[in-house]
Each structure stands twice: as C-alpha cells, then as structure tokens.
Structure 1
C-alpha cells in the first residue's frame, strides 16, 4: 500500500486529493493548521500543525515512515496573502516574507526531509502551483512571484533528481476558500469544485509521466 503526505489537507483541494488517494487505497498522512487529530476517513493519518514549523515537518515525515514507506509528497499548503490583493507598490513586505515562507521555503524544507525515503521507492513530488506563476495579473505580484519561485525550485529539483518524478501542478480556478478570498465580495460559484480535478490527479500519479509542469 503506497503512502503519501499531503499538506494543507483540512479543506479545499488538499482535502479532495486526500479523499481521492485514500479511496484508491493509499495511506495518506495529512496536515493543516485547522485539522483535527481524528482521522477523517480510513487510511488517513492526521498530523495537525503548521508546515512552517520545523518540528512539525519532522513529525509529518516520521508519521509517513512509520507506515513503512513514502511514495508521494504533495506540497499543497499555501497562503494567498492580503485580501484584497494589493498592487506591488503597496505590498506589505513583512506579509510578502510570510507568503514566500509558506509557499516556497516550507515546501522545499519538507521536500528535503522526504527525499531519502522518496528515493528508495521511486517516489514523486507534487507542488501545487497557479497560472499566476506564469501570467502577469495586476494585484497578484506577491502570490504569483512566490508560485513562480516554487515552480523554478521544482524544475531544478527535477533536473537534480532524475530518478524521481517531480511535477508542478496547476489545478486551475477552483471553488475554494482561498479563491473566494482572492475575489472578495464576488460570486465564484461558477468555478468547479476541487473534486472535479481528482481523476486527473490520480491519472498523473498512476501513469507517472516525465517530470514537468502539469495542468489538470
């Protein structure tokens, strides 16, 4: 039975991916700042906490290794930054550091801890990204810059770890709390639910195409 770690699994896309993998027979170690300690469903091992906390990252990997293996790391946890999104001319720099800490530094730190186990099992690393990483949208400079940095880190990791699969995955605009925060006061009910992209995600981790950028 393969084992995955998914960060930011208390809601939205992370929760949907967790359910999809657990239903497919995976053991899934999950975290989230608002996660409870009780398993949400069979096969799910909750480790509540903040991915920016070094001790918590160690606990996540240890929980996965306790199952006997680690096959997949999904760096899904992230923060948007201010809502509404400010222009770069007015972007608070302390907040920008927080956005980079959660979206870039913490995922890399967790990946570093997970790499030895992932190498043993021909594993894969998924980093959830956004079209804001590759398109210039007014007001999205902070979040977009962080996601661009996360994509480049993934690209370099793919070159440095040719025996692994490394994918930076853009799920598209989804009906999530974060997306609602990005457009305060707007109706986002026309966006698809996160569960709509889980079949494509399962196809990805099953088919294991070459490392690269993936649009679900």
Structure 2
C-alpha cells in the first residue's frame, strides 16, 4: 500500500485530495493546525492525523517519524496568506513576510529534506501546491506570491537534482475555500476544491514528468 503525507489536510484542497487518494487505497498521514477539523477528515479517510504547525520544527520532526516506515508521496499543501487584509508590497512589514516564508517555503523545504532519502528509495514523488500569484502581478498579493514563486524555483531546482523522484509544482486555480475568502475574493463564485483535487489525482496516478502544472490543464486532458 502506498503512503502519502499531506500537509494542510483539514479543509479545502488538502481535504479534497485526501478523499481522492483514500478512494484509491492510499495510506494517509495528514496534518493541520485545527485538530478538530483534522480529526473529522481522518475519520472520513482512515488517515493518521497529527495536528500542529508546519512552521514548528518539532511538529515537522513528528511528521517525518510518522512516515519513517516508507513514503511514496509528499504533498506540501499547507500555506498562509500572511497578514489580512493583504497590504500592498510597499507597506508589507518584513517580519510578516518572514513569517509567510517560514510556512510557505522553509517548512516545505525542511519536510522535503526530512523525507527525501525514503522518497529516493521508493522512487516517490513530491507535489508542491503553488499559485498563479507566483507568476502574475496581482495587487496586494505580493507577499504570498513572492513566497510561492520561491517555492516554484525551489521545486524547479529540486527536479533537476533528483531524477529518481517526481517533483511537481501545481497551480490549483481559484477554489471556493476559506483562504480565498480571507483574501477578500468572491470565493462563492469559484469551483469547489474537489475539481482541482481530481485533476491532481490524475497527475499523481499518471506519474507525469517533473514540472509545473495547472489543474485546469490537467482537467482538460483526461
């Protein structure tokens, strides 16, 4: 049985992807800060739930220990917008940007480093969830977008360095999530996370080459 570790698995895309992989028979380890919501997803999927903050080194160490028996897929999905309402880049406090990077860039890298030996051994895969904000110049999205751009380049280099591990960085597109709502966007007009999760499941099951993918493109090439 294949094992996946999904961060930010209590709601939104993380929950939807956990449901997709559970239906495919994956063994799951999921994390999130909201222990109550996380436990509900664990009950739905049979996953092992480990609540905590991915920016906390002790929590990351616990996650790495939980998959020490073997890991086939790491999904770095947990992320933060930073301060909300989101300020323009010229007014973004540097300390707040550092906090955004701690969750959106440094935590994924630390988890990758912790599980990479096992992924190499099993020829596993890494899926880093990114955003169109990494490549577009949306006003007030500068802090979040900069962190996702860093995650994309980190993924790009990792893919070149690790030929035996599939490394994907994927833009799920707009989704009806609490995060989009917190950003002040009309989340109700966006599609449900289940649509992006189904597209990403195809990416995983097909084991496509390392690279950047958009969920919309994956959904269009069934």
TM-score by length of structure 2 reads: 0.92
Residue aligning to 2:64: 61
Distance 1:42 1:148 in 2: 32
Residue aligning to 2:30: 30
Structure with the bigger percentage of helix = 2
Range 6-15 or range 40-49, more displaced: 40-49
Residue aligning to 1:19: 19
Distance 2:65 2:46 in 1: 16
Q: Secondary structure at the match of 1:101?
A: helix
Distance 1:173 1:42 in 2: 25
Residue aligning to 1:103: 104
Are 2:194 and 1:195 aligned? yes
Alignment RMSD: 1.2
Range 103-112 or range 188-197, more displaced: 188-197
Distance 2:186 2:134 in 1: 24
Residue aligning to 1:113: 114
Distance 2:157 2:172 in 1: 21
Over 3 Å counting, the alpha-carbon distance change for 1:43 and 1:69 in structure 2 is farther
Distance 1:97 1:87 in 2: 16
Deviation, structure 1 residue 42: 4.2
Are 2:43 and 1:44 aligned? no
Number of aligned pairs? 212
Unpaired stretches in structure 2, ≥5 consecutive residues: 216-222
Q: Deviations over 1:27-58 (max 9, x none)?
A: 11000011247432343110111111112111
Deviation, structure 1 residue 78: 0.2
Q: Deviations over 1:62-91 (max 9, x none)?
A: 1122xx320000000000012221111111
Q: Deviations over 1:103-142 (max 9, x none)?
A: 0001000000010111111100010000000011111110
Residue aligning to 1:71: 72
Distance 2:89 2:46 in 1: 43
